[in-house]
């Protein structure tokens, strides 16, 4: 009996001899934009169908079959988002690949909304022709293969003996094709999500650095005045202790500003920003930034550092962002917990350094555990999280040649584990080349 792989490989689909021109739906209320799109895609051997409104597009997709639809977002009466949401409600069009094309909505909110609506991508104008053609061609190839598969199966049905086997093969091939489409969609969503997050991090780094620089001079001035007063006040004077408290808290403000300046460097990804650093130093900075929240929420946070833990080659800013994200998630999980605790361990593990962040919070349901690193997946209420933090954190650790994993049991707690190599070979190679 043939295996699934042998059975699949035995099917031959003569795509090159299959004279079929897929139909591409172009939706835009401006005729000149429709003409421009046709010219960009004219070498793809397809048939274009135009629609100048959302209603007209819905009529077209119900009357005909399309390989892909390119839809403008801003249209009168019914915009692109509403059009696609209605498409997804009909069995015939719920899986039609859609790419939004917009010159108006370039912000993160509308791009994310477009992906969540069910589109496979969101392209902003001016369009880069090579990128648009490349993305459209992927789905045209998939559609042509599907049509060729169905044509081949229809031919095989002429043989009565092979009828049942052909139906089974078609079902298997359709499932394989759908999985390829889903995988391609996940890859596109992940790429879009990381781009959005990178832009957010870059903007945040710039703002943070500006604020920290502006605050640094007045804070240092206040510290100098307070220290002057401490030196001029007798220890017997009851104001001496108050001035010492003021000095300590002002120094704490200065430390926070220094940490913010370090934190603002994470938007830069150049290899020269990799440096040898102790994870303990990075974690102490993270705990300092979160100290107010930890104290106000009465969380017991313990940091256990093995004294033999070596320095490691890292981009300090991005690794600090990962640790901030893990600590923030742990604090969120402890909101309804009695005697909340976060236990942090840092210790050497052969050629790596292992970091664990463990809490005794609510834990993660088993059905969600394998999805927590997926872009846009979140169990937090609307407006409380984008579902991008863990996805980007894993990407940062992977870029360092490391691993980020999670173990959790609902009702008992969660443990995240970060493994980072002592030496970052990718970084060292780039630095040697640039020397």
The pLDDT of residue 252? 76
Partnered with residue 345 across adjacent β-strands are: 304, 356
Task: State how far the Cα of 335 lies from the Cα of 384, in Å rounded to an integer.
Answer: 14
DSSP state of 54: H
H-helix or E-strand spanning residue 415: strand 413-421
CB of 266 within 8 A of CB of 273?
no
From residue 331, how far is each of 282, 325, 359 by CA, in Å? 18, 10, 8
Task: State how far the Cα of 203 lies from the Cα of 76, in Å rounded to an integer.
Answer: 33
Partnered with residue 405 across adjacent β-strands are: 417
**Tens digit of pLDDT at every position of the chain (435 positions):** 444 434 433 444 444 444 578 999 999 999 999 999 999 999 999 999 999 999 999 999 999 999 999 999 989 889 999 999 999 998 889 889 999 988 777 777 778 888 888 888 888 888 888 989 998 999 999 888 888 888 877 777 666 766 677 777 778 888 788 788 888 887 777 766 666 655 665 565 566 667 766 777 788 888 888 888 988 999 888 898 888 888 888 887 876 676 556 545 444 445 557 888 888 888 888 888 888 888 988 999 988 989 898 988 888 888 888 898 898 889 988 988 889 999 999 999 888 999 999 999 888 888 888 888 776 667 665 545 555 678 778 888 888 889 999 998 888 899 999 999 987 655 555 444 444
H-helix or E-strand spanning residue 347: strand 341-349
The pLDDT of residue 7? 40
CB of 126 within 8 A of CB of 30?
no
Enumerate domains of the chain plus CATH numbers. 4-156 (3.40.50.2300), 200-265 (1.10.287), 268-434 (3.30.565.10)
Taking the model in full, what pTM does it have?
A: 0.40
The pLDDT of residue 55? 94
Please provide residue 83's backbone torsions phi and psi, each rounded to the nearest 5 degrees: -60, -45
CA 366 to chain centre: 22
DSSP state of 423: S
The pLDDT of residue 10? 42
CB-count exposure of residue 251 (10 Å: 0-12, 13-18, 19+): middle
Partnered with residue 23 across adjacent β-strands are: 47
DSSP one-letter string for 196-243 = HHHHHHHHHHHHHHHHHHHHHHHHHHHHHHHHHHHHTS-TTSHHHHHH
The pLDDT of residue 336? 83
H-helix or E-strand spanning residue 313: strand 312-315
Structure tokens at 93: 């069009």
Task: State how far the Cα of 61 lies from the Cα of 23, in Å rounded to an integer.
Answer: 10
Sheet of 341-349, strand order: 300-305, 341-349, 352-359, 413-421, 403-409
């Amino acid at each position: 009996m043939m295996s699934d792989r042998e059975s699949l490989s035995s099917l031959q689909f003569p795509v090159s001899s299959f004279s079929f021109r897929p139909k591409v739906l172009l939706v835009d209320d401006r005729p000149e934009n429709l003409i421009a799109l046709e010219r960009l895609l004219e070498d793809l051997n397809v048939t274009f169908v135009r629609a100048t409104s959302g209603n007209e597009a819905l009529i077209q997709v119900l009357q005909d079959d399309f390989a892909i639809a390119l839809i403008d977002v801003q249209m009168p009466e019914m915009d692109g988002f509403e059009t696609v949401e209605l498409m997804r409600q009909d069995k015939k069009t719920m899986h039609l690949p859609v790419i939004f094309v917009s010159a108006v909505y370039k912000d993160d909110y509308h791009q994310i909304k477009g992906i969540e609506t069910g589109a496979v991508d969101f392209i902003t104008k001016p369009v880069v022709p090579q990128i648009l053609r490349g993305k459209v061609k992927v789905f045209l190839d998939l559609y042509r293969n599907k049509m060729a598969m169905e044509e081949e199966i229809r031919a095989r049905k002429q043989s009565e003996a092979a009828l049942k086997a052909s139906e089974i093969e078609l079902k298997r091939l359709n499932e394989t094709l759908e999985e390829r489409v889903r995988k391609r969609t996940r890859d596109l969503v992940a790429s879009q999500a990381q781009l959005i997050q990178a832009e957010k991090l870059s903007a945040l780094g710039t703002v943070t650095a500006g604020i920290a620089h502006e605050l640094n001079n007045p804070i240092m001035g206040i510290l100098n005045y307070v220290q002057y007063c401490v030196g001029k006040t007798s220890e017997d004077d009851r104001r001496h202790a108050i001035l010492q408290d003021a000095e300590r808290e002002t120094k704490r403000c200065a430390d926070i500003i220094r940490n913010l300046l370090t934190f603002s460097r994470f938007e830069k990804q150049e290899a020269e920003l990799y440096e040898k650093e102790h994870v303990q130093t990075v974690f102490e900075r993270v705990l300092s930034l979160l100290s107010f929240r930890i104290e106000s929420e009465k969380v017991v946070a313990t940091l256990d550092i093995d004294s033999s833990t070596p320095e490691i080659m890292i981009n300090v800013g991005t690794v600090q962002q990962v640790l901030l994200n893990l600590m923030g998630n742990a604090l969120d999980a402890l909101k309804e917990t009695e005697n909340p605790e976060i236990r942090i361990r840092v210790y050497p593990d052969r050629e790596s350094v292992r970091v664990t962040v463990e809490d005794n919070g609510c834990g993660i349901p088993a059905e969600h555990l394998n999805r927590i690193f997926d872009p846009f997946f979140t169990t937090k209420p609307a407006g409380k999280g984008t579902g991008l933090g863990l996805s980007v954190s894993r990407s940062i650790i992977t870029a360092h040649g490391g691993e980020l994993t999670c173990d959790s049991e609902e009702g008992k707690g969660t443990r995240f584990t970060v493994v980072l190599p002592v030496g970052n070979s990718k970084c060292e190679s780039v630095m040697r080349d640039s020397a």
